[in-house]
Amino acid sequence: LTKALEKERKFFEDHTHFRIFLDEGKASIPHLSERLTKELVSHINRSLPQLEKQIKEKLEKTSTELRMLGDGVPQDETERDNFLIEKISRFNQVLTDIVSAEEDVGDTDTRVFTKIQREFSNWKTKLDKKATQLQEHLRDEVEEYTRIHRGKELPGFVNYRTFQSIVRKHVEDLEEPAMNLLQTTTDIISIAVNKTTTSFFEAYPNLLRAAKDPLEDLRELEYERAEERLRSQFKMEKIVYSQGGLYSRQLEAAKSTPNGNLFGKAINADIREMTHHLKAYFTITSDRLANQVPLILLYHMMEQYLVNVKTAMLGMIRHKDAGSFIQEKSDIAKKREYLLKRMERLRKARQVLAKSVPSA
């Protein structure tokens, strides 16, 4: 090898045209090797921060998985009881965090309340859209009801029966969308609770099974109660009521807002007056339903449901078969050992990188 390198060097030194490459450090194996080494070192130095970031992310993921698995079931009976209490207490704390919109969801998921709030915003949009549709179809409806139900009222006087009938009809149209909102809200909460339950108790099949039963039963119970409350709310809306002072203020606001050309050039006194009253009342009703429906859903499907789930979980601590709840799956110990070894390897890699990454 030495002779070959010497021969190569002599070739470039003696060559009329190629000697310049040797002088500039662009020829011969030693020069090229040095240049390649510098480029390789530079590339490695540029890659080290990204590699360090990847190791950090894997460490966090491994740590989370280990935390979910726990330290393993102790053998001492008293320690086993405390182990079960701690498991259930940590689970209940997550449910508490969900209710207060403080649960940890990482960077990829969204909090339960945020998802529900989005659906509540859609509900408000439906109410606003309904108010717009009401104005668009009001002329035909008022003319139809006036033709059928008009009594001795002179033009411009509001026939209460006509007013009441139109209000009831449009409020009834909102009942099923409210039920759909109930189902959507229930699904969001149910998915989150089931996911949390599985992540906490996956290693303990008996505990997971025991936890799943009250989840379903209690959810169904609160769903029925919420549905009943919503149905009652819409039955009450058929009464067609508002505080006098509030209604007067909304009516004044409706009359001060120009109708434009909504009904064309010709608009009779009946339609004009009815428009003002319906607009005033539906503003009040829309605001009422925009708040009341979400309140009912949050109370039953968030507050009451999760409080009852936490109570049911605490009841498992006193269950006669509580000891069997924390029997670990056979493959969990192997997985824990694998994760511990992986954690150790990642920590060592991070220590090596810490010495290699150039300081800023």
- pTM to 2 decimal places: 0.70
In a domain, 292, yes or no: yes
**What pLDDT, on a 0 to 100 scale, did the predictor assign at position 126?**
94
Note whether 315 and 283 are same-domain residues: yes
Note whether 151 and 121 are same-domain residues: yes
Q: Residue 57 sits in which domain range?
A: 2-72+340-356
Note whether 27 and 150 are same-domain residues: no
Note whether 194 and 67 are same-domain residues: no
CATH no. for residue 138?
Answer: 1.20.120.1240
Encoding tokens for residue 278?
A: 């319906």
Amino acid at the residue 211:
A
Note whether 212 and 301 are same-domain residues: yes
Note whether 243 and 277 are same-domain residues: yes
Note whether 142 and 217 are same-domain residues: yes
Note whether 215 and 308 are same-domain residues: yes
In a domain, 79, yes or no: no
- Taking only the tens place, the pLDDT of each residue in 234-261 is 999 999 999 999 999 999 998 897 765 4
CA distance 287 to 278: 14
Q: What is the mean pLDDT of residues 105-130?
A: 93
Q: Could you identify the residue written with the tokens 């505990």?
A: 207
CA distance 335 to 331: 6
Note whether 194 and 116 are same-domain residues: yes
- Taking only the tens place, the pLDDT of each residue in 120-140 is 999 999 999 888 877 777 767
Helix axis angle for 205-237 and 305-315, nearest 10°, is 150
Note whether 157 and 277 are same-domain residues: yes
Note whether 19 and 62 are same-domain residues: yes
In a domain, 86, yes or no: no
- Taking only the tens place, the pLDDT of each residue in 190-213 is 999 999 999 888 888 889 999 998
Structural domain count of the chain: 2
In a domain, 155, yes or no: yes
Note whether 264 and 350 are same-domain residues: no
- Taking only the tens place, the pLDDT of each residue in 143-194 is 676 667 666 666 666 678 888 988 999 999 999 999 999 999 999 999 999 9
